Amino acid sequence: MSRAGEQGFTLLEMVCVIALIAMLAAVLLPFVPHHTSRSRLQAYALEAATLLKADRNAAIRRGADVSTLVDAASRAIRSGATAQTLRIPDDVRFDALLPQTCRQRPALSTVSFFADGMSCGGTIALARLDTAYEIRVNWLTGRIEIVSRPTLAN
């Protein structure tokens, strides 16, 4: 027996509506832009510095040169010691200021570390909107530091 004039939704109707919403979300979610937040930008700078420090430590430990590849075109930093790669997203401005030569050899977009702890140096810059970080490698000491600097909005 059903009552005439009942109001409300049945469980089946509710499940159908939820299923439609889930399907729409699954189809549209890949098209929602994902932007790099300020904290995520800082995390990329920390990851890059950690990768560089690991390569410097590996050079000292092994007693041999280790070179970190900094490829701005493919937006990647690749460890010479572990082959670990850090990919930088497209919405982050990625610049590298690296020496053209290192110990009378072409540097080829690398930051080289030597067994004595020294380096040929270089700077990697990551920026997004009003925030920028520079990862600086001192050529004399091989020290790696992260410097935060304000930047103009894009």
CATH of the domain at 123: 3.55.40.10
| Confidence (pTM) | 0.75
CA 104 – CA 126 distance, rounded (Å)? 29
Residue 114, domain member (yes or no): yes
Q: 140 lies in which domain range?
A: 38-150
Question: What confidence tens digit (pLDDT) does each residue in 78-124 have?
Answer: 999 998 999 999 999 999 999 888 888 887 899 999 999 999 999 99
Note the Cα 60 to chain centre separation in Å.
26
What is the token pair recorded at 102? Answer: 């290192």
The model's pLDDT over 124-141, given as tens digits with 9 standing for 90+, comes to 999 988 899 999 999 999
Q: Is the residue at 19 inside a domain?
A: no
The residue type found at 70 is V
Q: Is residue 63 part of a domain?
A: yes
Distance CA 15, CA 5 (A): 22
Number of domains in the chain: 1
